[in-house]
């Protein structure tokens, strides 16, 4: 059991998640619950703060804000990252101003000079200057005047922080998800684009919209012509994964659970191309790559009619791999069995989602916006593996939640989230009825959340 989540919750175990369950909606709606998250949840979990690629040089920093906390993540040596609470020990001024309308603040520092009275700190967080220190009659020492540090560590190219001084290691917190995702070499991918918005729903309502493909048939109806979207959903400790469940034995192929798979229709050479292209173009150029689309397009020319789906996929992957190698993008070796186990998309507790491919990933993060349970900070970004030196330069873009800015598929998700937030408030809502097979990631999320919060556990539905 996860160390930080060891508050006993005898009601629901991982095995119980296979049964029909319900979980309470208080977690999405209650201002009191939102306030309690400040103490019970956020200071006790590892939180993804940003990407290492944003701090390549010594002195590069970015800020990560969660509710009223602000943390500075800074590279202090070529191989060392440190994190500091963004506050001057003198009288509490933020060292780096973090305006609400900026998602993060980035820059480079040789040291931190507080804007109020000029106290100064080196990259190691030590105080190097106090004006008139003799006035304190010897009471100022290094311990009183240095910056405070939360825990910090990295995985997959991300930087994580934890405000709990006694927390378990990041690796322990992320397992087994980290080991299953390691072969994708996410740390070698770079931002393709990154966008954020203040969105009118709870941060959990928002992240849950990306936890299950069960909504594809009702929300992304245009995709049904290209693929089958029956899915499984599985808990791995405090984290979870979803994947496509191939029900037709004739169409089984080794990678059918992941985003790169055969499409629907009589000729898999054609349907695979259509599905890959659709995923690429309508999900803001992020659920595939140009290399994959081009390799898929050639399938009809390169393979005879009647080639079975698994061979079509194997051929597409091999030719995309060769095309990428020719331009300097070397694919990691991932066996078909591992590809299948890794599934479609991971949810890392509490608020990080990764839909992974061999050379790309589509990711989401949501955070609360103040104490208002009806608002969140929503972020999505795409990662891709580029030839060295050809990585694009990107910045966070504040973007209205429209199809024009986010692609048509994401806009369809946006078109649900705020109405879920409103609908759940109805006294006519008898409670959630999540799908025990396809939405188990969500019930697992509520199982773990309730352990941190000490309230709101899922419970079995009477049969």
- When asked if residue 91 is in the footprint of ligand FES (CB under 6 A), the reply is yes
- When asked if residue 208 is in the footprint of Fe ion (CB under 5 A), the reply is no
Q: Select the residue interacting with ligand FES from 41, 88, 292, 313 (CB under 6 A).
A: 88
Alpha carbons 260 and 322: distance in angstroms, whole number: 16
- Long-range Cβ contacts of 69-78 (<8 Å, 24+ apart): 69/42, 69/43, 69/163, 70/94, 70/96, 70/98, 71/150, 71/161, 72/96, 72/112, 73/49, 73/152, 73/159, 73/161, 74/109, 74/123, 76/123, 76/124
The nearer residue to ligand FES, 110 or 393, going by C-beta atoms, is 110
Is residue 348 within 8 Å of residue 180, measured between CB atoms?
Answer: no
- When asked if residue 324 is in the footprint of Fe ion (CB under 5 A), the reply is no
The nearer residue to ligand FES, 133 or 336, going by C-beta atoms, is 133
Q: How many residues bind ligand FES (CB under 6 A)?
A: 9
Q: Which stretch binds ligand FES (CB under 6 A): 86-94, 221-229, 258-266, 333-341?
A: 86-94
Least Cβ distance, residue 165 to ligand FES (angstroms): 23
Alpha carbons 154 and 51: distance in angstroms, whole number: 9
List the single partner that 114 binds among ligand FES, Fe ion, none, CB under 5 to 8 Å by kind. Answer: ligand FES
Alpha carbons 328 and 198: distance in angstroms, whole number: 38
Least Cβ distance, residue 87 to ligand FES (angstroms): 9
The nearer residue to Fe ion, 379 or 413, going by C-beta atoms, is 413
- When asked if residue 278 is in the footprint of Fe ion (CB under 5 A), the reply is no
* Beta-strand relationship, 80-85 and 120-122: unpaired
Residues paired with 369 in a beta bridge: 372
- When asked if residue 87 is in the footprint of ligand FES (CB under 6 A), the reply is no
Least Cβ distance, residue 89 to ligand FES (angstroms): 8
- When asked if residue 109 is in the footprint of ligand FES (CB under 6 A), the reply is no
Q: Which stretch binds Fe ion (CB under 5 A): 61-69, 112-120, 247-255, 408-416?
A: 408-416
Least Cβ distance, residue 68 to ligand FES (angstroms): 17
List the single partner that 423 binds among ligand FES, Fe ion, none, CB under 5 to 8 Å by kind. Answer: none
Q: How far apart are the first and last CA of the chain?
A: 29
Query: Which residue of the chain is nearest Fe ion when measured via CB?
Result: 413
- When asked if residue 117 is in the footprint of ligand FES (CB under 6 A), the reply is yes
Residues paired with 244 in a beta bridge: 231
The nearer residue to Fe ion, 312 or 345, going by C-beta atoms, is 345
The nearer residue to ligand FES, 121 or 191, going by C-beta atoms, is 121
The nearer residue to ligand FES, 71 or 339, going by C-beta atoms, is 71
Residues 7-46 that bind ligand FES (CB under 6 A): none
- When asked if residue 119 is in the footprint of ligand FES (CB under 6 A), the reply is yes
Alpha carbons 362 and 193: distance in angstroms, whole number: 10
Q: Which stretch binds Fe ion (CB under 5 A): 102-110, 294-302, 412-420, 445-453?
A: 412-420
Laid out side by side, the sheet with 360-369 consists of 231-236, 239-244, 345-348, 352-356, 360-369, 372-384, 190-199, 397-398
| 330 dihedral zone (left: phi>0; alpha: psi -120 to 50; beta) | beta
Give which of 118, 147, 128, 340 is closest to 241, Cα–Cα: 340
- When asked if residue 90 is in the footprint of ligand FES (CB under 6 A), the reply is yes
Q: Select the residue interacting with Fe ion from 33, 413, 451, 457 (CB under 5 A).
A: 413
Alpha carbons 94 and 124: distance in angstroms, whole number: 17
List the single partner that 413 binds among ligand FES, Fe ion, none, CB under 5 to 8 Å by kind. Answer: Fe ion
Alpha carbons 214 and 206: distance in angstroms, whole number: 15
Distance of CA 199 to the CA centre of its chain: 17
Alpha carbons 72 and 82: distance in angstroms, whole number: 8
Q: Select the residue interacting with ligand FES from 5, 83, 114, 276 (CB under 6 A).
A: 114
Alpha carbons 109 and 121: distance in angstroms, whole number: 10
Is residue 191 within 8 Å of residue 392, measured between CB atoms?
Answer: yes
Least Cβ distance, residue 86 to ligand FES (angstroms): 12
Q: Which stretch binds ligand FES (CB under 6 A): 112-120, 140-148, 291-299, 416-424?
A: 112-120
Q: Enumerate binding residues for Fe ion (CB under 5 A).
A: 413
**Residue numbers at the binding site for ligand FES (CB under 6 A):** 88, 90-91, 93, 114, 116-119
């Amino acid at each position: 059991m996860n160390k930080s989540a060891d508050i006993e919750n005898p009601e629901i175990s991982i095995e119980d998640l296979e049964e029909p369950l319900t979980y309470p909606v208080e977690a999405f709606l209650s201002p009191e619950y939102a306030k309690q998250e400040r103490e019970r949840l956020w200071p006790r979990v590892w939180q993804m703060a940003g990407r290492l690629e944003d701090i390549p040089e010594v002195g590069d920093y970015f800020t990560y804000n969660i509710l009223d906390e602000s943390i500075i993540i800074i590279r202090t040596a070529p191989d060392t990252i440190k994190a500091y609470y963004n506050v001057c020990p003198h009288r509490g001024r933020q060292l780096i101003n973090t305006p609400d309308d900026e998602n993060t603040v980035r820059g480079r520092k040789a040291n931190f000079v507080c804007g109020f009275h000029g106290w100064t700190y080196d990259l190691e967080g030590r105080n190097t200057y106090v004006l008139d220190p003799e006035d304190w009659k010897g009471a100022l020492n290094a311990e009183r005047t240095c910056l405070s540090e939360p825990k910090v560590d990295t995985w997959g190219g991300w930087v994580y922080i934890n405000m709990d001084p006694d927390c378990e290691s990041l690796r322990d917190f992320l397992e087994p998800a980290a080991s299953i995702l390691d072969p994708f070499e996410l740390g070698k991918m770079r931002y393709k684009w990154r966008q954020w918005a203040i969105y009118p729903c709870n941060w959990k309502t928002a992240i849950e919209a990306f936890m299950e493909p069960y909504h594809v048939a009702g929300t992304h109806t245009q995709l049904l012509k290209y693929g089958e979207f029956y899915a499984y959903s599985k808990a791995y400790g405090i984290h979870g994964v979803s994947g496509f469940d191939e029900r037709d034995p004739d169409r089984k192929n080794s990678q059918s659970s992941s985003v790169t798979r055969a499409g629907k229709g009589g000729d898999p050479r054609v349907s695979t191309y259509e599905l890959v292209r659709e995923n690429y173009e309508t999900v803001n150029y992020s659920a595939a790559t140009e290399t994959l689309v081009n390799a898929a397009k050639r399938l009809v020319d390169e393979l005879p009619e009647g080639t079975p789906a698994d061979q079509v996929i194997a051929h597409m992957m091999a030719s995309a791999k060769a095309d990428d190698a020719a331009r300097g993008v070397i694919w990691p070796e991932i066996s078909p069995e591992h590809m299948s186990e890794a599934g479609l998309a991971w949810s890392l507790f509490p608020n990080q989602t990764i839909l992974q491919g061999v050379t790309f990933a589509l990711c989401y993060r949501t955070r609360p916006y103040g104490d208002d349970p009806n608002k969140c900070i929503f972020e999505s970004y795409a990662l891709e593996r580029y030839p060295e030196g050809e990585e694009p330069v990107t910045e966070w873009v504040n973007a209205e939640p429209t199809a024009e800015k986010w692609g048509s598929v994401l806009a369809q998700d946006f078109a649900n989230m705020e109405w879920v937030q409103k609908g759940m408030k109805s006294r006519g809502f008898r409670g959630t009825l999540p799908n025990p097979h396809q939405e188990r990631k969500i019930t697992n999320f509520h199982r773990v959340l309730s352990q941190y919060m000490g309230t709101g556990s899922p419970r079995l539905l009477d049969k």
